Amino acid sequence: MSKGNDTFSALADPTRRSILELLRQHETMTAGGIAARFPMVSRPAISKHLAVLRRAHLVRAREQGREWHYALDARPLGEIYRSWLSPFASHWRQSLERLKQQVESRDG
């Protein structure tokens, strides 16, 4: 599987997206700290989610003593934006322009 596909696969799961959002808000968190934020998910399941995020290079992990510390690595998200999402930007602008024209035509 390519790196881009790993990233998309990792992002497909809502729990993994929530973990990324949590790490976006905190510079670093331990695996236990992350697991504590998801009381309805088992700790082994959180570990598996973190492993998927590591393989996709969306998080960095550093072992410190007996704990693993995780941090967001947003570079793959930037790569997806540049290579896959940014080509759609012209369509967004066109849609917004059409919406603007519709709103303005109703005001007149």
State pLDDT tens for residues 60-78. 999 999 999 999 999 998 8
63 contact partners, CB below 8 Å, separation of at least 6: 69
108 falls in which pLDDT band (50, 70, 90)?
low
Report if pTM > 0.85: no
Cα 75 to Cα 85: distance, rounded to the nearest angstrom: 14
pLDDT of residue 78: 86
For 15, 23, 30, 32, 93, the CA distances from 36, given in Å and listed in that order, are: 13, 13, 10, 6, 41
Higher-confidence residue of 65 and 98: namely: 65
Q: Which domain holds residue 40?
A: 3-107
The pLDDT value recorded for residue 1 is 43
pLDDT, tens digit (0-9, with 9 covering 90-100), for 39-60? 999 999 999 999 999 999 999 9
Residue 47 C-beta-side C-alpha neighbours within 13 Å: 6
Determine the pLDDT at residue 22.
Answer: 97
- CATH number of the domain encompassing residue 16: 1.10.10.10
**How many structural domains compose the chain?**
1
